[in-house]
Structure 1
Amino acid sequence: MSMRNRPWWRTTGFVAGALALGGVLALLGVFLRTHGLGTTANVAQLVAVALSVPSLAAGLVSWWRRPDTAVAPTAAETGEATLALAGLVERQWRDESLLRSLHDPAPMPVRWRLTSSADLMDRPDYALPAGIAGFAGSSDDAARLAERFLALPRRRLVVLGGPGTGKTTLAVQLLLELLASRAPEDPVPVLVPAAGWNTREQPDLHTWLAARVDQDYPALRALGPRTADRLVRNGGVLPVLDGLDEVHGHERTRVITALNRSLGTTPLILTSRKAEFAEAVAGADDVVAAAPAIVPERIAGADAAGYLEKSLRTASRRQQWQPVLNRLRTPAPQRGEEPLREITASPLGLWLLRAVYVDAHADPAPLLDTARFPAAADLRGHLLDGVIPAMAAARLPGADPDGSAPTSLPRREHDPSRIRAWLSFLAGILDRGSGGDASGGRDFAWWHLARRTLPRDLPLRIRLAVAAALTLVVGAAGFAVGATVFGIWGATAFGPAGAFGGGVVGGGLLAAAGVGLNLLGWHEFAQWSQEPPGYADLRLSGRRRSLVRHIGRSGFRAGVASFGASALVVGFAAWGGEGNGAGIGFGIAVAAAAATVGAPAAGVADGFIAWAETPALPGRVYTPVASFRADRKLNAVRGIPGGCALGLGIGLIVATAVEPVLAAAVGAASAYLFWLRFTFVYGRHHAWPAYLVASRYLAWKGLLPRRLMPFLDDAHRLGLLRAVGPTYQFRHAELQDHLAGRSGR
């Protein structure tokens, strides 16, 4: 590891240790010259004991915390983890399929067949079952397609097609069907965006997939910190990689190579646009091993008419739509497809037509006006322009004010023009960030908002203004805490005059210390935008034993460390008292206080945070909103237990030497400073503070709503966005491209 890449804390620890060692040697030299060899030898022995105890303690803690890699998980443990993951995935995509109306009134009738491009798939005798020369089916009979997938020799399939041809929809349908028919020994299908895989950093599929499963389904951590990794390594996950075409440039070729190198016997479903997939396999000079490739057929006019007719639930509306349905059922003219038939030949066009005209109860007569829409591009642009106001009008706010029901209607009504402006801005920053972000150009991760916007757009004066505001708040809070606690001590010790003096001095000192810590945290703000979101689950139901267990473990570690510190205190107390009984007695008293108070205090703080970051097994579906709330909760509570516990511990220790009122003041001041430290500087989960600064700045500029996450949740409920784990995507890539192209106008 180069010096440039070495973590700062290692360099700091090395320098501090070297200085401490040098200081000890210098002190021993001074003692040797002033007190003689005998006293110096006694001091050296005490120092040696003090220095050896922390090393021994660190070794014991490391040994105690080291996982037992020799013990493999039992079949019962593996079965429990697989069952838990299957339940989480099923709930996630059941709710998402309802929001996407995939089965309302029925799946779109998209027919799939084996590709005629032999260079896009492996040899048929290797990719297909013996005696079967093709692979065909329809999206409105996904169960049959799932059966044919399970009959494949390696259970691998590549789904190809153009924009808006239903590739992702078919992947979701297959996922749900495979879950419904899954045997206990079968792997759990998990859909993940292929754009999130950086093969340069994680060249092995299973390593990346385990990290993604752990991120998208944190409830698995209740079964152990490496549950996701064990599931993936043991073949318990069937990866459904969606959107290879969204991987940037030549990285697509690397994905094909990495897949064939690391798949082994792992099954796979992969979706991609056909042109980008052909480019990738040509660059790799290879195809996905043992995987047939299927492509969609155009939706016939009669099939499109049948789908639309099922969506018309009253006789009067069916009669109103009869001219359109008749036009679709009429054989196409020889001179070429008309715009209406061209649009309804793809799932995207059929969805747009239904959203803008069927669900919005609009008059369908303009659809037959070839003068207004002479080409399919004109009609498509009209539908893309109208989908936002149509869906906002069709799905008015429901009776679920807190949004607890994942498939409920939006929680508030929005102006369609504002929806368009805000979504256009998001589409624009996703379009500019395509390929340059770990989450990919199509995925919007809320914790990447600052990374995508602030370094480029935030002026220096805004940075200084935010830093000054935070400094003012932290300084004022520090002054209030210091003035209060030290004012009380001053009044107790010296009367009214002492109250004023103690308040001013204590408030000034604590304000200065708070400002210093705040500036240190603000200096690290650039790193906040690079940090992943954390997780906090504060539910006590069914988790009380887990809380006690976590506190007990942390208390043991803190106790070992406290006894190491105690030995150091005893040694220096004995040295300070030159070996007399008073010095040693005082050192022993302070050491006992540190051991009996510091260990429980630190144990409660560390154990509480470790417990909060471990979710309950029957966890909720991890949506973007759930991810946001979990990280916000972690940032809100992270500093409280550490600050309170350490403040209490320091106060009790100080009480052995000074009066209780002053000890209480010192404890309260310490609690405040440690709270700042744990909240703004400690740890690597500051995604919410970074998001907060970015979202407020963008709202001030009028580019996004002030409450961005509730708005995105409503856009998801409207059907304009879709959720994949903790990230959002636009409902269709073509909708994102359409909005991004108009975002600057």
Structure 2
Amino acid sequence: MKRSRTRRVAVTYAALQIATAALALWLTKQFQVARMSATLIALAPTLPGAYLTWAAYHNDRREAAADTDAKATMLAAAVAPAETRQRAQLIGPGAHRIDVAFHYRTEPANNATGAAPEGRLTNVVAYYRNLRPARLVITGEPGGGKTLLALDLLLGLLTHNARTAADPVPVRLSVAGWDTDRPLPEWLADQIHQQFRDRGLTAADAGMLVDQHRILPVLDGLDEMDTDTTPAARRRAVAALQQLNAYQHPTGSAPVILTCRTTQYEQLAALDMRMREAAHIQIAPVPPAQAAAYLTARSTRPTRWSPVIDTLNTAPGGALAKALSTPWRLNLAATAYEERHPDTLGYLRDPADLLTLPSPHAVRDHLLALYLPAATSQHPTRPGRYPPHQTHRWLAALATHLATTDPASPGSGTDLVLHQLWPMAGAHRVRTTDALLICPLALAFPALYLATTPVDFSLRMFLGTALTAWPLAAVWQASRATVRTPHTVHLHRLRSPTHLRRLARDLGFGLTLGLALGLVVELVAGLVIAVAVGLALWLKDVLTEPLSCDAAPTDPRYPVRDDLAVGLASVLAVGLAIGLLSGLANGLTVGLAIGSMGLIVGVPLGLYVFSGAGRRYVVLLCCSRGRLPWRLGAFLHWAYEAGLLRISGMAYQFRHRELQDWLAAQARLR
């Protein structure tokens, strides 16, 4: 009832706003001396209408959240297929998993109860369900299988027979992108909304799920929040653990799953910083028997691996056994030595070559050098699109960029976000180019106005001169180091009654602006501006929404693509509105001419006003010719499909940090 009454009052005041707007126009024409005063007096009754329209919209947003169980069920249905694809990407061809073992490590205090001394990947779900509270820390060596174990646990919890509708939904998030100045619940809600809003999950829904503890955070990569040289007092991982320890629900510490490399977690533990009320498990190295079974399963001719398997069994403490003691290294070896000649289908390499390498580091570097061309040639759909040497050069440039960014910035050391890569081409160079591209157009507006307007000291001259300065704001925006977050398109909102009401609100704002501009221009021009501004705001606010940098669309290329589409669509709407209204007032020919000029001038300016991320991405490509491919997004997605990269939210990441560091080191040696 309250919501209905609010709507009726809002509609009444909206009608009053239109009436007083017409009165304002009449007053500005009748009283030449007191135009501004008459306009302000006439527009005063419109303020309650604007406020109640805003209040009605926010009431609708609050009441639009559906019941918790339905939203949690929908979220679980969205998480399962996405993480199944991610696990398949990590496992590689054939879906051969290594049943890694893990051991429970007792902390000096604040351990969870119910933890068994040891467990395996195949029974990790049962292991976790016995913990009280349900807080788990997974550590292991680089490439030891931490992420894969967390993925198996997540998927097992979603598909477990004992799961109920009331169980929290596990959602995996890259903790490296967390700005720890933000409270954990706020960050969780924002990330979940960004990842699953294409499934209809609103910000209010995500906040409700987090507030009611219907989310089980699976936080991957605590070790990637800082570098080894970051002072202890400035480590984001310390702040993250402090917030995790304060994360509570009504019965005590809230459930959390956290992964971290063993060395980094021990460094934090030495500072008496660890996750409290949790069970700490550490993944054990892969024993020779399991390594042999994996290599045999991945090979189409297992006898080729006999010398390697014999060495693993006879020298379990040797260089080869140490090097091949993690799932990541075993996957590298299988990928590199299963590569075949494209014409003869003969094997290009003999696994026995591994026996000649003197140390685990030599084995690692050897496998990493072979992995990139092998993964490229075994690309499932387009193996020959990018030559291996070119792929290596471009990926090394990207890895070097990640290695030289500020480690205190969230996600800076791991995330390849398209619209945030622009410093690669030179920060000052890109910003200067971005600003210079708009300067001629921005300066043309005030020059044209001043050249065609008689010089006097009237109010019209003063306001008109001030308004011509607004394109200069686009130059300032283009020269900034901060890039606005991209927008994404939601065409289904055109059918939403809520967002149709937003159209009325935005047109009302545009009408108010048009009335103010009526002091400078004629009535028809003011109406043209009113409708054009209202449509542009509506397209920007209704069809699009800002995405955060840790967002997770289906394809990380979509944000910049949609951001450019937003700018073009907004300008098109403005051009059509200008042309239509001008045609109604002055005839078809004049309308077409004015509308065409509006599009010609407005397209580049609109990209600066409505599109920030997409435009900066295009400037990056123009300024980095030769160092990066022209279609950078297409290349990164191709590398993801080849198994060289992975997707985390709105970012691409290297398949493994070891690969990223090796590529950066190779680039420095050249």
TM-score normalised per structure 2: 0.80
Distance in 1 of aligned mates of 2:35 and 2:329: 84
Distance 1:550 1:643, change over 3 A: farther
Query: Contact (CA 8 Å) 1:158, 1:269: kept in 2 or not?
Result: yes
- For residues 393 and 604 of structure 1, the distance between their equivalents in structure 2, rounded to whole angstroms, comes to 50
CA deviation profile, 1:425-462 (whole Å, cap 9, x unmatched): 1111111115143323112222211245532xx54xx7
Secondary structure in structure 1 of the residue aligned to 2:575 = helix
> What residue is the counterpart of 2:572 in the other structure?
640
Asked whether 1:556 is paired with 2:504, we answer yes
Quote how far apart the aligned CAs of 1:43 are.
7.6
Q: Shift in Å at residue 392 of structure 1?
A: 1.3
Q: 1:282–1:54: structure 2 CA closer, same or farther, 3 Å change rule?
A: farther
Indicate which of 679, 691, 698 corresponds to 2:607.
679
Equivalent residues in 2 for 1:358-437, closer than 5 Å: 358-360=338-340, 361-367=347-353, 369-370=355-356, 373-395=357-379, 398=381, 410=382, 413-437=385-409
2:645 paired residue among 721, 725, 732:
721
Q: Secondary structure at the match of 1:345?
A: coil
1:267 and 2:255 matched: yes
- Out of 180, 194, 199, the position equivalent to 2:175 is 194
Q: Deviations over 1:29-53 (max 9, x none)?
A: xx9xxx9xxx98x989844532413
- The alignment status of 1:136 with 2:121, answered yes or no, reads no
Query: How far 1:369 sits from its partner (Å)?
Result: 3.2
What does 1:315-334 align with in structure 2 at a 5 Å threshold?
A: 317-330=301-314, 332=316
1:737 and 2:661 aligned: yes
* Correspondence 1:604-623 to 2 at 5 A: 604-613=535-544, 622-623=554-555
Change (3 A) 1:567 1:442: closer
Q: CA separation of 1:472/1:544 partners in 2, compared to 1, >3 Å: closer, same or farther?
A: closer
CA separation of 1:82/1:646 partners in 2, compared to 1, >3 Å: closer, same or farther? farther
What are the ranges of 5 or more consecutive residues in structure 1 without an aligned counterpart? 1-23, 399-409, 487-512, 577-586
Tell me which residue corresponds to 1:90. Answer: 80
1:731 shift after superposition: 1.0
Of 220, 223, 238, the residue aligned with 1:242 is 220
Could you list the per-position Cα deviations for residues 187-216 of structure 1 after superposition, in whole angstroms to 9, with x for gaps in the alignment?
A: 22111111111212x1x2111111222223
- Listed as ranges, the matches of 1:256-655 within 5 Å are 256-264=241-249, 265-283=253-271, 285-313=272-300, 317-330=301-314, 332=316, 337-360=317-340, 361-367=347-353, 369-370=355-356, 373-395=357-379, 398=381, 410=382, 413-451=385-423, 453-455=425-427, 458-459=428-429, 520-527=473-480, 529-538=482-491, 545-546=495-496, 549=497, 552-558=500-506, 560-561=508-509, 590=523, 604-613=535-544, 622-649=554-581, 652=584, 655=585
Describe the shift of the 1:411–1:609 C-alpha distance in structure 2 as closer, same or farther (beyond 3 A). Answer: farther
Please give the secondary structure, in 1, of the residue aligned with 2:474.
helix
In structure 2, relative to structure 1, the CA distance for the partners of 1:136 and 1:631 (3 Å cut) is farther
1:319 CA drift (Å) = 2.2
Cα deviations by residue, 1:294-352 (Å, 9 ceiling, x for unpaired)? 11112110111011111123xxx1222223223323363xxxx2222111212222121
Match of 1:681, as an amino acid?
A: V
Residues 51, 568 of structure 1: 8 Å contact kept = no
Aligned-residue offset at 1:712: 0.6
Return the offset for 1:225: 4.2
Aligned equivalents of 2:434, 2:334: Cα separation in 1: 46
Equivalent pair of 1:624/1:728 in contact (CA under 8 Å): yes
Kindly tell me: are residues 225 and 649 of structure 1, through their superposed partners in 2, closer, same or farther at Cα, counting changes over 3 Å?
A: farther
Which of 171, 185, 189 is the matching residue for 1:210?
189
Q: CA deviation at 1:681?
A: 2.0
CA distance in structure 2 between the partners assigned to 1:677 and 1:53 by the alignment:
34
Contact 2:134 2:255 in 1 (8 A): yes
Q: Name the stretch that deviates more: 95-104 or 186-195.
A: 95-104
State the secondary structure of the residue aligned to 1:527. coil
Give the 3-state SS of the residue equivalent to 1:723 in structure 2.
strand
Deviation string 1:676-714 (CA, Å, 9 cap, x unpaired) is 5543124xx51111111112312x2x2211111111111
Q: Secondary structure at the match of 2:128?
A: helix
Distance 2:593 2:284 in 1: 76
Give the counterpart of 1:153 among 132, 138, 155: 132
- Find 1:167's aligned residue among 125, 146, 151: 146
CA distance in 1, matches of 2:41, 2:333: 80
1:307 and 1:136 map into 2 onto residues whose CA distance is 22
CA shift in 2, pair 1:44/1:376, >3 Å: closer
Question: Contact (CA 8 Å) 2:332, 2:371: kept in 1 or not?
Answer: yes
When the two chains are superposed, the root-mean-square deviation of aligned CA atoms in Å is 4.1
How many Å apart are 1:160 and its aligned residue? 0.9
Aligned residue number for residue 18 of structure 1: none
Superposed CA deviations along residues 698-742 of structure 1, whole A, max 9, x for unmatched, are 2x2x22111111111111111111111211111111111111111
Q: Is the 8 A contact 1:340 1:367 kept in 2?
A: no
1:63 alignment partner, one of 55, 58, 71 = 55
2-structure distance, mates of 1:637, 1:478: 25
The Cα offsets for residues 132-155 of structure 1, whole Å up to 9 and x where unpaired, read as: x5252223x1xx201221221121
Question: Structure 2 CA distance, aligned partners of 1:191 and 1:646?
Answer: 47
> 2: CA distance between counterparts of 1:624 and 1:103?
24
Offset at residue 644 of structure 1 (A): 2.3
Alignment match, 1:219: 198
What amino acid sits opposite 2:116 in the alignment? G
Assess, with a 3 A threshold, how the Cα gap between structure 1 residues 82 and 629 changes in structure 2: closer, same or farther: farther
In the TM superposition, what is the alpha-carbon distance from 1:470 to its structure 2 partner?
5.5
Segments of structure 2 that go 5 or more residues without pairing to the other structure are 1-23, 341-346, 453-465
Q: 1:474 to 1:711 in 2, by over 3 A?
A: farther
Separation of aligned partners in 2, 1:225 and 1:243? 25
- Distance in 2 (CA, whole Å) between partners of 1:412 and 1:185 is 49
**Which residue does the alignment assign to 2:237?**
252
1:104–1:395 distance in 2 versus 1, CA, 3 Å: same
Structure 1 Cα separation of the partners of residues 283 and 409 of structure 2? 31
Q: Which shifted more, 321-330 or 267-276?
A: 321-330
- Asked if 2 retains the 8 angstrom alpha-carbon contact of 1:650 and 1:670, the reply is no
Check conservation: 2:400, 2:664, Cα contact below 8 A.
Answer: yes
**Identical amino acids, percent of aligned pairs:** 27
1:80 to 51, 70, 86: 70
Higher mean alpha-carbon deviation, 735-744 vs 629-638, is at 629-638
Residue 57 to residue 241, structure 1, CA distance change in 2 (3 Å): same
> Aligned equivalents of 1:359 and 1:135: distance in 2?
40
Partner in structure 2 of residue 707 of structure 1: 631
Give the Cα–Cα distance (whole angstroms) in 2 for the partners of residues 569 and 632 of structure 1.
29
Equivalent AA in structure 1 for residue 204 of structure 2 = R
SS of structure 2 residue aligned to 1:742: helix
Conservation of the 8 A alpha-carbon contact between 1:554 and 1:606:
no
Distance 1:174 1:430 in 2: 30
Conserved in 1, the CA contact under 8 Å of 2:308 and 2:354?
Answer: yes
Deviation at 1:359, TM superposition (A): 4.9
Q: Deviations over 1:143-175 (max 9, x none)?
A: x20122122112110011121211112112212
Give per-residue Cα distances to partners, 1:45-87, cap 9 Å, x unaligned: 8445324134334323332333368759452xx2332233223
